[in-house]
Structure 1
């Protein structure tokens, strides 16, 4: 039996992800931040004080990749690592003032980008897509 993998659900989701990531990269390039760095920065903004293990899980990154991203964000003075008050071997991650300023500059651009990505869908279709993707993800976790 022949399979057309270009029509498979996995391929379609992967292709949409790559195209969206590339478009986001072009959209935020002027801020001198990558999509991976933005993902980490917005996750920290949602809840400051994650340890690196929790943050890696939230960002879907392995710990080594996250460490590299955090090193870059720290070098750019966008985040800071603070020693945990309960475990001196652990670092908690916080945004700096400069990180908050950059986040506030990028957010409207990213929201407009997200809106443009979904403009061909009705509100009901967007809700249905969210529902179906959540269902798929929960099946895979």
Structure 2
């Protein structure tokens, strides 16, 4: 006997948060993918390069978290970026057990050139959506992430 919609406890797919977030991500990334293809960099590699660019040196654990990349994928990505001369890995002078990732001159040059194109794409998105709407959306997503990832203290009954 076929089940009616009322018997099925899940929401319609098009009105679920995971699907809505994926659709929004795709709508944004569709604008950036041609730029990434032109510089022969994957989306994950781009995120890694951008995070490394923002630091003087970052260890793999912090980098994986900040770039939203799983550790096994990061190992492969770092090997690829290093073989292209875009990043360098070296020991942390303060803690010889840690390896830090830094951008090379070639990596900086690539990001500078691609950054000009990326900034134009972002400006187009901002023109379409408005700076305030983007800021509000980023704030709301940050709050949502914080709310969903904050660990409750079991000692307080949470």
Question: Normalising by structure 1, what TM-score?
Answer: 0.89
Instruction: Identify which of 27, 34, 37 aligns with 2:42.
Output: 34
2:54 corresponds to: 46
1:137 corresponds to: 145
Can you list the C-alpha shifts for 1:27-78, whole angstroms capped at 9, x where unaligned? Answer: 2211111121111111111002111111111111121111111101000000
Cα distance in 2 for partners of 1:42, 1:5 equals 33
Residue segments in structure 2 that go unaligned for 5+ positions in a row: 1-5, 150-158
Cα distance in 1 for partners of 2:92, 2:85 equals 19
Q: Which aligned runs of 4 or more in structure 1 are off by greater than 4 angstroms?
A: none
Can you list the C-alpha shifts for 1:75-105, whole angstroms capped at 9, x where unaligned? Answer: 0000000112244332111111111111110
Report if the CA contact (8 A) 2:90-2:101 is conserved.
yes
Shift of 1:118: 3.2
Cα distance in 1 for partners of 2:126, 2:37 equals 21
Q: Output the aligned Cα RMSD.
A: 1.7
- Of structures 1 and 2, the one scoring higher in RCO (CA 8 A, sep 6+) is 1
Give 3-state SS (helix, strand or coil) of 1:105's partner. helix
Residue segments in structure 1 that go unaligned for 5+ positions in a row: none
Cα distance in 1 for partners of 2:85, 2:132 equals 41
Q: Does 1:65 align with 2:73?
A: yes
- Count the aligned residue pairs: 141
Q: Which moved more, 1:83-92 or 1:8-17?
A: 83-92
Report if the CA contact (8 A) 1:27-1:113 is conserved.
no
Give 3-state SS (helix, strand or coil) of 2:127's partner. coil
